[in-house]
Amino acid sequence: MNKPKHLAFLWDVLIMASTSFGGQQVHMALYLERLVKKKQYLSEDELFEIHALCSVLPGPTSTQVLTAIGLKRGGTSLAYLTTLMWISPAIFIMHWLLLG
């Protein structure tokens, strides 16, 4: 596992998770802008292919797309960490609201 590249990817995921609100349409636009055009983690065709595959599965498509990108870049361990980074801000906010 190439740790510096994976850490940069996970940092990008955390930034997107912390700043993206609006559902799947906004998430896909952010993925296209940040992960494809700016960082070139994958091609536009690969993103749309992953999105098409995840669209037929039950559950949150944008989360599945991001997890699949993590799987493609670094295997199962990066896929798990990607999902964890993606849900961390929401978990933190819900926990803070519960205690505060």
Indicate the pLDDT class of residue 1, thresholds 50, 70 and 90.
low
Per the CB < 8 A criterion, the answer to whether 35 and 47 are in contact is: yes
- The contacts found for 31-36 with CB under 8 angstroms, 24 or more apart, are 31/62, 31/65, 31/66, 31/69, 35/69
Residues 14-61 pLDDT 10s: 999 998 888 888 999 999 999 999 999 999 999 999 999 999 999 899
What is the reported pTM? 0.90
Q: What is the domain count for the chain? A: 1
Whether the predicted pLDDT of 5 surpasses 90? no
Q: Provide the residue range defining the domain that includes 50.
A: 3-99
